[in-house]
Structure 1
């Protein structure tokens, strides 16, 4: 498929995301090729090409989240949000990368110095095939 684009968000604040745990964005906004699986949290490239991925996170009050965009086990980009006891902070990152058909991309909690990570429903994961 030449036209590949998706956006998913979190439908409600997550529970604790364990270190090395996959972040599962479960609420579909758009998915032209049904290439993102909200049950596994993985995007599987339906064809080769240049892809752009964007990750937006907002940690809940008093929580710290270091979330990586991962391709086949390798970290490509990082979003880091450390919220205070009465505030919420967010971060956004993106990456452009060449994918072969079948390559897998997902978001993973990297973990940060033993902190607890939960993110809220404003968090999202999106991507598209550039060419």
Structure 2
């Protein structure tokens, strides 16, 4: 079993670490030149005058859209109660069946009815998926 160092050695090592930390010179550690922070900010390649700043900002700005177009663009991703219900409880697929009715005579008068097509859903009721139910397999 290894013995713990005595408290005296612990204090001595802490004192040595503190003295080593204080022995560095701040100018050696963080050298600096003759420039001030304002000189660095307004240095070469940066936007110096107010006119240049306005010109740079105008290049970055987008034109304002017409209000009607802006509303229509935002409507596609805005949360509404209807969107939330459709997302949480999507309708299950209910294929439509197309039936053709041949020309025939109808009623007591035997009136001619031309042929026509009609569409009706395969299932009588609309079915909804439960929250979390996968629709990939359907």
User: Normalized against structure 1, the TM-score is what?
Assistant: 0.17
More helix by share: 2
Which structure has the bigger radius of gyration?
A: 2
Greater length-normalized contact order (CA 8 Å, ≥ 6 residues apart): 1
More strand by share: 1
User: Normalized against structure 2, the TM-score is what?
Assistant: 0.17
